[in-house]
Amino acid sequence: MKRLLLLTTLTYACMTFSVHASSYESGDLVCTGRVIYVSDGDTVHVKCNGQKLKIRVAEIDSPEIEKQNKPCFGQPLGKGAKQLANEILLGRTVDVRFFDEDRWKRMVARLFVDGRNYSHLLIEAGFAHIYERYAKDDRLKISLTKAKVGRNGLWSLPPKCIMNPAKWRSQLTNNQRCALQDEWFQQGCYR
């Protein structure tokens, strides 16, 4: 029984490895698949060629959502970003284009739905920031400008209610996040 479990695990690992970073160059079409689950605005699961891929969407960073194991983790419009991602992607066919691999070994990819780059759609709707550290597509700035001018999503909130998710995750302690969430709730930042 242990031998069968080991063999199954190794087989799965080999199958999964075949769709990961070492096989692709930036921009390569990995597969065309169906979105089967949305974790949040910038992380989805796609079924490609019979395999389930967890994909971190390239070049964007959407507001964080509350997580069971992380109290005080949700940001304003984090749930809205996930809801919009569900509306745009869930059950839809997407082209997955390799971009990079992150430090957690997730595939980072650009997703195209009906020929449109999902990252642009989420930024234009105001439900994501440009992930400046990793972004290479200068056209994302045009999408961001449209969102700000149109006061879409995040940009409809007072500036004090907006914090870049990367800063939220890395520069604040959990106690600081809890205190800021309390302040944001009092100021009506959560809708």
| 84-101 confidence digits (pLDDT tens) | 999 999 999 999 999 998
pLDDT confidence band for 70 (50 / 70 / 90): confident
Percent of the residues in the chain that have a pLDDT greater than 70, as a whole number? 87
What pLDDT is stored for residue 106 in this prediction?
86
The pLDDT of residue 10 is above 80: no
Residue-wise burial string across 74-112, b where 16 or more C-beta atoms lie within 10 A, e elsewhere: bbbbbbbbbebbeebbeeeebbbbbbbbeeeebbbbbbb
| 95-133 confidence digits (pLDDT tens) | 999 999 888 888 999 999 999 999 999 999 999 999 998
Q: For the whole model, what pTM was predicted?
A: 0.84
- Per-domain boundaries in the chain: 2-186
Cα distances (Å, whole numbers) of residue 120 to 10, 23, 59, 113: 38, 26, 10, 11
Q: What is the CA radius of gyration of the chain?
A: 18
| Topology of domain 2-186, CATH | OB fold (Dihydrolipoamide Acetyltransferase, E2P) (2.40.50)
